[in-house]
Amino acid sequence: MPMWLCRAGRYGEFENKFLEDSKVYCTWDSLSESIMQFHTKQDLQQYFVDNNPDVKVKTAMNWASQVWPFAHEMKKAGKSCLVIEKRDHIAGNIYTKEQHGIRVHQYGAHIFHTSDREVWDYVNALADFNNYINSPVAVYEGELYNLPFNMNTFHALFGVNTPKEAKQVIAEQIKEAGVTDPQNLEQQAISLAGTTVYEKLVKGYTEKQWGRDCKELPPFIIKRLPLRYTYDNNYFNDRYQGIPVGGYTQIAEKLLADIPIRLETEYKAFLAETEDTFEKVLYTGMIDEFFDYCYGQLEYRSLRFESEYLPDEDNFQGNAVVNYTERKIPYTRIIEHKHFEFGKGEGTVITREYPAAFTRGDEPYYPVNDEKNGQLYQKYAALAKEQGNILFGGRLGQYKYYDMDKVIRAALDMAAAEIER
C-alpha cells in the first residue's frame, strides 16, 4: 500500500482525516528516537524503505531538516559553523530582556504572525506561544482610533455605523480629490482611503517614519491601504499569531546551541585576524558595506528607543502598542511591554520609538525602497551573484523588508538548497 509520512497537526488533530483517506500518518512522538538523525528527506525516505520492505513509500518529508534556521541546519548536516555577531548579544532585533520582571522588546514591538503552517510549527517547537492578538491604537489630537482602519475607526472618524455608509463617505472623498494618476505618496494615499484617513492617520506618522514630506515620497511606498469594513481590531490577517512566553531570545539560544558565537565582532575585522578558511559564508549585514560602497551608499532608516520604568504605574496605556500620528509629536509610538504577555503586578516599562536618519555607524533598521536605491541595489546584487561561496540574506543583505516568518522561510529554503548540493 502507499504510505504517506505526514505530520497530522501539532497534536494529531488531523488524525481522523488521514485515517478516513486510508493513509498512514506518523507524528513527532512516534519518531522521537530517530527523527533528528536525518539530514535530508532522502535519508528519511531511505530509512522507511530499509525498515519497511513491504511498504511502498510514495513520498516523505523530513520536517526536522526544515525547522532550524541556516546555521542549525548546516551544523546538523555535519558542517562546522561559526556565528559572527557585532552586537553584545544574540537574537538580533528580536532580542528580549527581562527588566523589573517584565520582558522588554529591546528593539521595538515584534509580534509573530504567519499563514505558513510549517514555519508556525517550527517556532512552536522552540517556544510556547501565547494567544496575543496585535490590536494597536492610534492617537491624533487626543482622539483614539483603532488600527487597522476598520468599522470602529470609521465610526469614530465619520459617525457611520454600517459598511455601506463608510464606503460611501470614503468614495465621495476620493472622487472629490480627483486623483487619477498619483505622483507621490500623498496622492496615492488619498486615492486609496480619502482625505480624512490620510490627514489624521497616515500623513504625520509616515512623514516621521521616513523623514520626508509625503509629497516628496514616491507613491509605491503605499501600494494599498487596508480598509476593513468589519468591527475586527486584529491588525494581521494571518492564520497564526502570538508572542513566545518568556520572550524571543530563548529561540535564538536554542537555535545556536552547540554553535560557537563571536559577539561584538565585525565581519571584516574578523576576516583580517583569522587564518581560518570557510567553505560557505552567509552574510546578513549591509550589502553596500560588504563591497566597500564601491557604487555608492544605499539609504536606510534608523530608530532610537527610550525606555522608562514607571514603578507607580500598573497600566500606563491599556494596550501594548499606541501610535502617535501627529507630525509634531517626535516619536511614532509608545510600547508598554507587559501587555505582550498579559502581565500583572506593580510597575510597568514603556518605550518611546523615535525614527531617525541613518548615517554610517548608526544601526540600520530598514531600507529606503525608492527607485534610486532600487537601481543602486541591483548593481550590488549583480556583484553578490559573482561571490561563489558567499550568500547574502536578511533585510540588509538583500535590501528588502522581511517579516519574521518570511526570514525564517527564506533561511529554511536556503539551508535546504545548500544541503541538497
One domain, residues 343 and 282? yes
E strands within 288-385? 300-310, 321-324, 333-336, 348-357, 366-367
Annotation marks residue 301 as catalytic: yes
What is the pLDDT at residue 73? 61
Task: Work out the average pLDDT over 395-415.
Answer: 93
What is the pLDDT at residue 78? 81
What is the pLDDT at residue 75? 78
Annotation marks residue 353 as catalytic: yes
Rg for the chain, CA atoms, rounded: 24
> In this structure, is residue 140 part of a structural domain?
no
| pLDDT higher at 27 or 348 | 348
Q: Is the pLDDT of residue 69 over 60?
A: yes
Annotation marks residue 15 as catalytic: no
What is the pLDDT at residue 144? 98
Annotation marks residue 333 as catalytic: yes
What is the pLDDT at residue 391? 92
> Closest Cα partner for 94 from 389, 403, 391, 415?
403
> Closest Cα partner for 83 from 91, 364, 387?
91
Cα–Cα distance list, 95 to 109, 235, 409 (Å): 10, 22, 19
The domain boundary, picked from 188, 221, 254, lies at: 221
> Catalytic pick from 353, 365, 380, 395?
353
Q: Residue 408 — pLDDT band, cuts 50, 70, 90?
A: very high
Annotation marks residue 10 as catalytic: no
- CA distance linking residue 71 with residue 217, whole number of Å: 38
> Catalytic pick from 232, 238, 363, 403?
403
CB 89 within 8 A of CB 95: yes
What is the pLDDT at residue 360? 94
> Catalytic pick from 43, 216, 306, 401?
401
The domain boundary, picked from 19, 36, 66, lies at: 66
What is the pLDDT at residue 37? 46
Q: Is the pLDDT of residue 399 over 80?
A: yes
What is the pLDDT at residue 79? 82
For 31-45, 115-129, 162-176, 197-211, which range has the lowest pLDDT when averaged over its residues? 31-45
- CA distance linking residue 204 with residue 225, whole number of Å: 15
Amino acid making up residue 198: Y
What is the pLDDT at residue 2? 36
Annotation marks residue 409 as catalytic: no
The alpha carbon dihedral of 30, 32, 33, 38 has a sign of positive
Looking at the structure of the chain, the number of domains it has is 3
> Catalytic pick from 181, 224, 258, 279?
224
Task: Work out the average pLDDT over 118-127.
Answer: 96
The domain boundary, picked from 221, 251, 278, lies at: 221
Q: Residue 17 — pLDDT band, cuts 50, 70, 90?
A: very low
> Catalytic pick from 103, 228, 395, 409?
228
Q: Residue 344 — pLDDT band, cuts 50, 70, 90?
A: confident
One domain, residues 186 and 310? no
Annotation marks residue 212 as catalytic: no
Task: Work out the average pLDDT over 329-336.
Answer: 98
- Domain of 272, CATH number, reads 3.40.50.720
> In this structure, is residue 192 part of a structural domain?
yes
Structural domain including 186 reads: 146-221
> In this structure, is residue 228 part of a structural domain?
no
Q: Is the pLDDT of residue 6 over 70?
A: no
Examine residue 148 and say whether the peptide bond preceding it is cis (omega within 30 degrees of 0): yes
Task: Work out the average pLDDT over 159-169.
Answer: 98
Q: Is the pLDDT of residue 213 over 50?
A: yes
Grid cell, residue 182, equals: 498619483
One domain, residues 391 and 310? yes
Residue 38 sits at the vertex; the CA angle it makes with 35 and 42, to the nearest 5 degrees, is 120
Long-range contacts of 30-35 (CB under 8 A, 24+ apart): 35/62, 35/64
Most confident among 287-291, 340-344, 389-393 (mean pLDDT): 287-291
Q: Is the pLDDT of residue 29 over 70?
A: no
> Catalytic pick from 122, 205, 235, 333?
333
> In this structure, is residue 141 part of a structural domain?
no
